[in-house]
Chain A
Amino acid sequence: MPKYLCMQRSLPGGDTHKPSPAEMQEMYSQFRAWQQKFRENLVDMGGKLGAGRLVTEPAADGPFVEVKELVGGYMIVSAPSLDEAITVARGCPGLVRRGSGVEVIEIRTS
């Protein structure tokens, strides 16, 4: 089954509301339910992305936009089609909201 790279991107004007502890717990439960629902699809939960550097030849000093400003994290989803991968990503609580989106890209291995 094809695999898809899902990258969380923060967009300008993101949500600045800090969740309360009760809301965090709610998010945790929703996330858990989402993980259960798409157990088969979630190949690799990935992780957050930190600072990075663009390596080029010849070496350039930058400045480059820091990666973490744009891409917050990634995960790998397996699904029969791009649309179904999008359904999985869209269902993830907190991933797609005001000021934040997910880029879903097919990983071609052949």
Chain B
Amino acid sequence: MSTPQLAEHFFRREYGRLVATLCRRVGEQHIEVVEDAVQSALMAALESWTVSGPPDNPSAWLFRVAHNDVAGTLRQGSRRRRLLEQYGGDAVDSGESCSAPFLANEVQDDLLRMLFVCCDEAIAERSQLVLALKTLCGFDIREIALRLFLSEANVYKLLTRARSRLRKSPPRTEGPSEAEFSSRIAAVHKILYVLFTEGYLSSRQETAIRRELCDEAMRLATILAEHPMGQTPETFALLSLMHLHSARINARQHGSGGLVLLEEQNRDLWDREKIQVGLEWLARSAHGDAFSRYHAEAAIAAEHCLAPSFQETRWENVVNYYSLLERIAPSPMHMLNRAVAVAEWKGPAAGLAVFDGFEPPDWLAGSYMWAAVLADLHGRCGNVELANRYQKLAWKTAPTPAVRNLLEHRLRTSRQTIARHLTR
């Protein structure tokens, strides 16, 4: 009657592994059959293992149950004959293919293959992300909705679109071809990057839940980096930036859950080991002639990680990397970040000068980040009226109480600094 503890995330990990392996064997056009079978196998495991304890090899047990279910469903299906012709010999009936994939690298290959399946260019980016979270990470619709701040109906819609595309995909069971690898790897990088930043940047969630997305992104990126075809400078840069950011995630939040300014973070809380790993990936990423946005972002994160204190940050380097980033991936957000770094390097007036002749798009002009940066820079320049205006806007547009508290704190301290300067 003993029921040993299962490894952390065992059910979720098994879900992803089984879906990936079975999809390779029967083809992703049967993804719904596969997902239903995996769900049922996990339920059967829950019922059986709680009563009599898990078997010696839980993964093999689950694989056998799910595989038999898929084989049975496909055999029964109305397309019985066609299916048997197509898969009967190799995927459904033969005892040999029923053997569980015991080799770790086979499982990794299956996961990687599924990641590339998710990144089909015919599937919209948001749908790709939802599909990956569902199939590879084992989150259900409700959990995805919670993590991506979407409605469940929306997640369902995105998932349905992705699946309907997969249903139409040609029957093939081999891994990604070299051509597919090179055409989809950029999309794979993007999806891993989005997955990571959804977890890292969100201010709207408790740390544990956000961390989960970061961990999933790092797990999949690591699998990519272990595959010969995935070993590109961009993959390494992506892993570098993930490590360098997640090394600091603990220090970004204080005990009461509020966010902490980089300037005031306790750098002793930064995970030195992760920083080291991140720097090693950064070194590995530095070959070839492609300098990607991931390189620029990893380099910026490295500058922060290497600085002994906020004041001792090499702001000139940070500014230069932001300039590069703007060139590679133009976005007013990068400009905003550059202005902040310039202000630290050459003073608030120089920071403001970055925006000379720049008309912010509506989404930026209405965001708390734009308002907060301008309130801060104007405040530090002594432009009291403008600073007040932006400050009001920043508080009004702050998405969460945690962000509002952070802004209030930040703007108050910068005012005090000014007051000290003026009274001196």
Which A residues have a C-beta under 8 Å from some C-beta of B? 18-25, 27-29, 31-32, 35, 39, 42, 45-48
Contact = CB atoms under 8 A, between A and B. Distances in A.
Contact of B50 (A19, A21, A31): A31
A22 B133 CA distance: 13
A25 B9 contact: yes
B149 interface: no
A21 to B, nearest CB: 4
B143 interface: yes
Interface string B118-145: 0000000000000000000011101100
B100 interface: no
Interface of B: 1, 3, 5-6, 9-12, 14-15, 39, 42-43, 45-47, 49-52, 138-140, 142-143
B46 A20 contact: no
A75 to B, nearest CB: 8
Contacts of A22: 9, 11-12, 138-140, 143
B12 A27 contact: no
Contact of A32 (B3, B47, B140): B3
Given A35-B3, A45-B1, A24 B46 contact: yes
Nearest to B36: A18
B132 to A, nearest CB: 15
CB-CB nearest 10 A-B residue pairs: A20-B140, A21-B11, A25-B11, A21-B138, A21-B15, A21-B12, A31-B50, A45-B51, A32-B3, A24-B11
A20 B47 contact: no
A35 B11 contact: no
8 contacts: A19-B43, A21-B11, A21-B140, A22-B11, A25-B11, A25-B12, A32-B3, A35-B1
A21 B6 CA distance: 13
B46 A27 contact: yes
Given A31-B3, A35-B1, A45-B1, A24 B51 contact: no
B51 A42 contact: no
A82 to B, nearest CB: 23
Contacts of B12: 21-22, 25
B47 A25 contact: no
B146 to A, nearest CB: 11
Nearest to A30: B50
A19 B143 CA distance: 11
B82 to A, nearest CB: 30
A29 B8 CA distance: 11
A53 B164 CA distance: 43
A20 B3 contact: no
B143 A24 contact: no
Contacts of A18: 39, 43, 140
B5 A29 contact: yes
B139 A47 contact: no
A23 B14 CA distance: 13
A23 B46 CA distance: 11
Given A25-B12, A32-B3, A35-B1, A20 B49 contact: no
Contacts of A42: 1
A28 to B, nearest CB: 6
Given A32-B50, A45-B52, A21 B42 contact: yes
Contacts of B142: 20
A28 B49 contact: yes
Nearest to B10: A25
Contacts of A48: 47
A62 B215 CA distance: 56
A20 B143 contact: yes
A20 B52 CA distance: 22
B104 to A, nearest CB: 20
Nearest to A17: B142
Contacts of A32: 3, 5, 50
B1 A24 contact: no
A32 B1 CA distance: 10
A24 B14 CA distance: 12
Nearest to B141: A20
A102 B51 CA distance: 17
A20 B138 contact: yes
Nearest to B4: A32
Contacts of A24: 11, 42-43, 45-46
Contacts of A45: 1, 51-52
